[in-house]
Amino acid sequence: MHSIATTMHSMIPASVKPSVTYFRYGCFLMVLSTILISISLADNLNNPTLTAWLLVTGSLVYLVSFTYVCSFSARMVESMLQGEILGNSDSLKGILCFWIYPIGLWYVQPAVRRILAQYDKQIV
């Protein structure tokens, strides 16, 4: 999702390009929460209160971060398909496809290929 979102973001004209800062924070928080969840699962016998706190906090942070990363990636793909910056409500189909990635791959992969093929033709 990171490579798709950053590639599509780089293709959008600079005058309407949305900020990528929160997307990067979301990716960082996904990694950090994965580490928290791993620590809590590895240390579940020593301190059950800390384990439960790390597991719940890490899971909630991961869920929120993953949702934002999916929505940003879907917005970038849908914006490139439509030719204008779209909101989250306009790219709901893409968000669900990124959220359920194995099934959504049937929609995401052809869309990305279509965008990249169009972009390559503009360069040549």
Structure tokens at 66: 């993953």
More confident residue, 44 or 29: 29
Q: Is pLDDT at 124 greater than 50 in this prediction?
A: no
Distance between CA atoms of residues 78 and 107, nearest Å:
11
Residue 74's nearest CA partner among 55, 51, 57, 93 is 93
Q: Is pLDDT at 35 greater than 70 in this prediction?
A: yes
Q: How confident is the model at residue 7 (pLDDT cuts 50, 70, 90)?
A: confident
State the pLDDT at residue 32. 93
Helix then strand then coil, in percent of the chain rounded to 5, is: 80, 0, 20
Indicate the pTM of the whole model. 0.82
- Per the listing, tokens 């959504």 go with 104
Average pLDDT score over the chain: 86
Per-residue pLDDT, averaged over 78-104, amounts to 85
3-state SS, residue 43 = coil
Q: Is pLDDT at 119 greater than 80 in this prediction?
A: no
DSSP 19: P
H/E segment holding residue 30:
helix 21-42
Q: Is pLDDT at 76 greater than 50 in this prediction?
A: yes
Ramachandran bin of 67, using left for φ above 0, alpha for ψ from -120 to 50, beta for the remaining angles: alpha
Per-residue pLDDT, averaged over 102-120, amounts to 85
